[in-house]
Chains A and B, each alone.
Chain A
Amino acid sequence: MSPASAATTGAARVELDVNGSVADVRAGLSTTLLTVLRDDLHLTAAKRGCNQGVCGACTVEIDGVPMRACLSLAHGCVDRPVRTLEGMLETPRMQALQRAFAVSGAFQCGFCTPGVLVAAHALLASDPDPDEAAIRRALSGNLCRCTGYARIVAAVRSAASSLAAPANQASA
């Protein structure tokens, strides 16, 4: 296929469910969800760090499960609810994570942070009391070059504890 036609071929309408709203966009066959989120919907929390699925900066939820937006084709996401960090800001779980990250110094440049928060949010949803091994396992796919990871692990633990605490107090 010639470079010229590759550049302009195949854009078609696709309807996506993003953060609970219908998003009506045009996307080519090879257009990824990441490109649609960032360029069409201006949801720029998900970042492009490698475009190969390695770095994790593009992590979003599809069908309720963390996935790589850069490895998801826009047309392949039809009828599969997509949730980005922007769509999780109101949850108590995300707010607990944000508070913990802020006071623990669990981010520096912040570029990996949205992907880390989405993965951590999903972890706490399925495992409200993860130990360190479980946190490492869930987040090994999120690269961070700034923090050295220790504070991220501590912040996830701390968020888990703070989410559990109100229930403990109630029963005490």
Chain B
Amino acid sequence: MLTLHFVPYDEIRGLSSSSRIQKLLTHVKENKIVILDGKLRKEEEVELIRTTMEEIDDKFTGIELQVWDAQHKETGFFDSLKMRIASMLVPDIQGGFTIIGPAAIIKEIKKDPSKIQLITQGSSLTRVRKKTKRK
């Protein structure tokens, strides 16, 4: 049985980077697939990989990770600049979401514009979910 664990960004917003990562990894190590309503900062993504490596043992073999950016149209230089400044001040302002699954369960996460495919271990079964648009 697959367990999807939804984490609203507000649940990790006030935490330090290392606490955020630990919180997400704790869920993943409980064999849950975490769906984070938001994105980690770029440096947190790489820290997530580093921490994962430090915690790998015979039982925990790592994670599968995919990050989706929210679609937005940039009409010119100033829009682009605004988005960059905004994302520096509030890292999750661009929206998007993140899926982190245990490597023991998730073989691969494929993405295309209209669907997300979680390919599970030991099976050719592909679970398809429609991507929901955030407003």
**Co-assembled chains A and B:** no
B→A interface (CB under 8 Å): none
A→B interface (CB under 8 Å): none
